[in-house]
Amino acid sequence: MKKDNRNTWRAATRAIHCGEEKHGIGAPVTTPIVRTSTFTFSSTAEMKRWAEGRSKAYIYTRYGNPTLTVAEEKVAALEGAEAAVVTASGMAAISSALLAVLKSGDEVIATRQLYGGSYRSLRDILPRFGIRVHFVENDLAGMERLLNKNTRVLYTESPTNPTLRLVDLRKAAAFARRHGLVSIVDNTFATPVLQRPLALGFDIAVHSATKYLGGHSDLIAGAVAGNEKYMAEVRKMVIYLGGSMDPEVGFLLIRGIKTLELRVERQCKNAMVVAKFLERHPRVARVHYPGLKSHPDHALAKKQMSGFGSMLAFDMKGGIGAARRVCDRVRVFLLAASLGGVESLVVLPIYTSHYKMSAKELAGAGVSPGTVRVSVGLEDPRDLIDDLKQALA
């Protein structure tokens, strides 16, 4: 396969063409699904070269597959990374990225406002393996006091799930680099279209590719992007722990990535319309959307993102009862626990992403019982507003 000249292409072109060689007689325009568990060797000599690390031949789909390679090259191109690894889920991407650089006795500094699954993994799972985790607020205050000779990783997420707070990624990356830490950021909400953390100094970006990269609510997938050294270690974790992607999912992910920029652009426009409507509604106490001037991180969003995204949240006057009534009354919006697809969704974080968290932890995450998280899709914005009007009436 010829090497893509991806450095001269813009994001939309990279998403469509990187990783694929389409020129030539009879070349397929779409990536074939290589539906196989194992691959043949031409000889035992070739098998020996592979075992010695002198061959990059495909051997077994858990180790790699031509369809998955295309997906990985697209993610790497979009993130501006040397390499990428795709995984069976977003949590497989996060756990593989962390375990690729951590061992027993190491310590992690993580921002407190994270996707609930990430937070619970850091809080409950890593300590089982002798890895200690310290949490800091999004402003990163006090990180220096948590540093010691065992600190290995800085982990963060921006914008955060579900209240869309931002972390100053340049500041975080500079801190990590200054102290020799591996910096990892969850870039799911922003996508590489709106934010490129590696260009801001981060070592690794992780994604729940289930969301915007796939974009159609029909797959479960994850992705990790960074330099070749780190990605080699991430791939080892995927191989050894089994979080590998199925080739058919890889095909669907490739298909989804090709329309990523177009979808995100429209979703951002729709989200701004929805956010402005909700901010004016008398039954809404507060809207969390970085595109609004009322958002505490609006200036930072303008500085480090090229758009404000299509995720938002709002707090209902009347608390959980009012929030439940809205979610039960919507008809265009769907009540479902995901995001980033073509359809608009609403969900209550206290029952989904942030379940099994104490009142103190919820407060630290900015989540109240009356918080409704919204993923804005591609519907006509007038229909979305009409639906919210009747649901809030």
Given a contact cutoff of 8 angstroms between Cβ atoms, the answer to whether 169 and 138 are in contact is no
- Exposure of 176 by Cβ count < 10 A (0-12 exposed, 13-18 middle, 19+ buried)? buried
- Catalytic residues, which ones? 62, 115, 186, 211
Phi, psi of 174 (to 5 degrees): -65, -40
CA distances from 152 to 100, 104, 228, 361 (A): 11, 11, 19, 24
Phi, psi of 84 (to 5 degrees): -150, 160
Cα–Cα distance measured from residue 163 to residue 212, given in angstroms and rounded to the nearest whole number: 18
Given a contact cutoff of 8 angstroms between Cβ atoms, the answer to whether 378 and 342 are in contact is yes
The contacts of residue 26 (CB under 8 Å, 6+ apart) are: none
Straight-line distance from the first to the last Cα atom of the chain, in angstroms, rounded to the nearest whole number: 58
CB atoms within 10 A of CB 288: 28
Residue with tokens 């102290």: 179
